[in-house]
Amino acid sequence: MISHKLNILTVASVHRHCEQKKQKGHSDDSLKFGRKNMGTKRDVLIKQILLDLIYNIAGSILYAAGIYTFAGNGGFAPGGVSGLALIMNHLWALPVGTVTLLLNIPLIAISYRTVGKRLLIKSGVTMVISTIFLDVVFPLFPAYSGNRMMAALFSGVFLGAGMALFYIRGSSSGGIDFLALTIKKKKPHITIGIITMLIDLAVILLGVPVFGDIDSVLYGVLATFVATVVIDKILYGIGAGTLAVIVTGKGKETAKRIAEAVDRGVTSLNAVGAYTGQERDVLLCACSKAEAYMIRAAVREADKEAFIMFTETSEVFGEGFKDAGE
């Protein structure tokens, strides 16, 4: 009897030991998983910081080239806070980068509630790095002193490319971006594009009495326009295309003619005219701008009464266009 009780106690003791070991094992596994998860988050954070730094350095080099190398000796202001800093540099020989940074401080104070803490911090880092390149690195190299037209074109290209790299990482060069967002919040009926354009134009016009000729306005507008185009192309892709929307009663015939003309796929949707109540086919075809005319001719051949619309698309991914993974 005593032996039997001892056996029961022994089994219970072994069972408790196994349970404790199992619980400890679960605890160890949870601890390992937690450490692994923390390690993964840390690795992702480090990767993001390194990417931000790389983009900031690359963007700052391009940005500084646009301002210092090309616009600096070009006799024009390309708009924005950096353009205002260039005017002050021309008048009083003040360092462009430092002046740009100082001019951004009151703009940050005005707009910190609008743009958010994350954007402000990232933009602050970007502005500091840009200032170093503008005031320390680029003065070590000669500035461009050739044709003003070429200076304006290349200033716009480099400025646009640099600012696009900042935007890709959720940052900015500050200045007008902050001010435009703040004005937009108070005047929601005005678009950010119009606000930015008006501010840039005001800065460019300030350059007339400073640089002494009306050409400074034209070159400043040209540089700003080119920068805007470059930003759009980098952010939204160079694969911009056209979307053809065709409303027709001969869907199959029209789709066949389009395929024969430009070798593009066509998507067909069933629709009903709200006024006539007649069934119609709505055809969608993504194409290049060069193919738009051929599509229009093909549609006219298949159905002269078809309704055709062409709309521009920022970017097209898929077969016959860019790979979605690019």
Residue 6's pLDDT is: 36
The answer to which of 7-21, 61-75, 213-227, 286-300 has the lowest mean pLDDT is 7-21
Q: Can you tell me the distance from the alpha carbon of 2 to that of 110, in angstroms, rounded to the nearest whole number? A: 86
Contact in structure between 298 and 261 (CB atoms under 8 Å): yes
Task: Determine phi and psi for 180, rounding to 5 degrees.
Answer: -65, -40
Residues facing residue 286 across a β-bridge: 243
pLDDT at 252 over 80: yes
User: What CA–CA distance (Å, rounded) separates 276 from 269?
Assistant: 18
Q: Choose one of 187, 209, 236: the last residue of a domain.
A: 236
- Considering the domain architecture, whether residues 173 and 146 belong to the same structural domain is answered as yes
The answer on pLDDT for 323 being more than 50 is yes
Q: Please check whether residue 122 is in contact with residue 170, taking contact to mean a CB–CB distance below 8 angstroms.
A: yes
Residue 242 near residue 321 (C-beta atoms within 8 A): no
320 in a structural domain: no
The Cα–Cα gap between 161 and 65 comes to: 11
Give the pLDDT band (50/70/90) at residue 304: very high
Same-domain pairing of 65 and 100: yes
Residue 35 within a domain: no
Alpha carbons 195 and 201: distance in angstroms, whole number: 10
Tell whether 106 and 189 lie within a shared domain: yes
Lookup result for tokens 């840039």: 200
Domain assignment present for residue 67? The answer is yes
As a whole number of angstroms, the distance between CA 176 and CA 1 comes to 92
Q: How far is CA 100 from CA 88, 167, 182, in A?
A: 10, 18, 19
Distance CA 211, CA 148 (A): 13
At 7 the pLDDT is 44
Q: What is the mean pLDDT of residues 246-264?
A: 90
Which residue, 139, 216, 214, 127, is CA-closest to 177? 127
Virtual torsion, Cα 159, 155, 175, 127, nearest 10 deg: 60
Residue 157 CA to residue 61 CA, distance in Å, equals 13
If asked whether residues 144 and 257 sit together in one domain, one would say no
Together in a domain, 222 and 269: no
Count Cβ atoms below 10 Å from residue 130 Cβ, excluding itself.
27
Same domain, 104 and 139: yes
- pLDDT of 30-48, one tens digit each? 555 555 566 688 888 899 9
Q: Please tell me the total count of domains within the chain.
A: 2
Q: Are 109 and 183 in contact (CB under 8 A)?
A: no
Q: Are residues 165 and 259 in the same domain?
A: no
Among 84-88, 93-97, 261-265, 295-299, which stretch is predicted with the lowest mean pLDDT?
261-265
pLDDT number for residue 50 = 95
99-144 pLDDT, tens per residue? Answer: 999 999 998 888 887 777 888 888 899 999 999 999 999 999 999 9
**Nearest Cα residue to 292 out of 268, 271, 264, 314:** 264
Distance, CA of 11 to CA of 78 (rounded, Å): 86
36 lies in a domain? no
**Has residue 41 been placed in a domain?**
no
254 & 228 share domain: no
Percent of the chain scoring above 90 in pLDDT: 48
pLDDT in tens, 283-292: 999 887 768 8
Same domain, 228 and 247: no
307-313/267-272 β-pairing: unpaired
Whether residue 149 is predicted with pLDDT greater than 80 in this model: the reply is yes
In a domain, 78, yes or no: yes
Residue 99 vs residues 87, 89, 92, 258, 276: alpha-carbon distances, Å: 10, 8, 11, 57, 65
List C-alpha distances in Å: 322 to 167, 207, 238, 318, 325: 22, 42, 10, 6, 8
Least confident of 41-55, 152-166, 231-245, 311-325: 311-325
Instruction: List all residues 6 or more positions away from 188 whose beta carbon is below 8 Å from its beta carbon.
Output: none
Here the CATH number for the domain that contains residue 248 is: 3.30.70.120
Are 224 and 264 in a shared domain? Answer: no
Confidence of residue 12 (pLDDT cuts 50, 70, 90): very low
Query: Could you tell me if 142 and 265 lie in one domain?
Result: no
Residue-wise pLDDT for 66-98, tens only, equals 999 999 889 999 988 999 999 999 999 999 999
The domain boundary, picked from 204, 236, 268, lies at: 236
Q: Express each pLDDT in 98-110 by its tens digit.
A: 999 999 999 888 8
Query: What integer pLDDT is reported at residue 20 of this predicted model?
Result: 54
**Domain identity same for 252 and 173:** no
Does residue 14 have a pLDDT over 50?
Answer: no
Q: Is residue 226 part of a domain?
A: yes
Cα pseudo-dihedral 194, 195, 200, 205, rounded to 10: 90
* pLDDT computed for residue 23 by the predictor: 53
Chosen domain end from 206, 236, 266: 236
267-272 and 241-248 beta bridge pairing: unpaired
- For 192, the domain range is 49-236
Mean of the per-residue pLDDT values of the chain: 83
The arithmetic mean of pLDDT across residues 2-18, rounded, is 44
Residue 113 belongs to some domain of the structure: yes
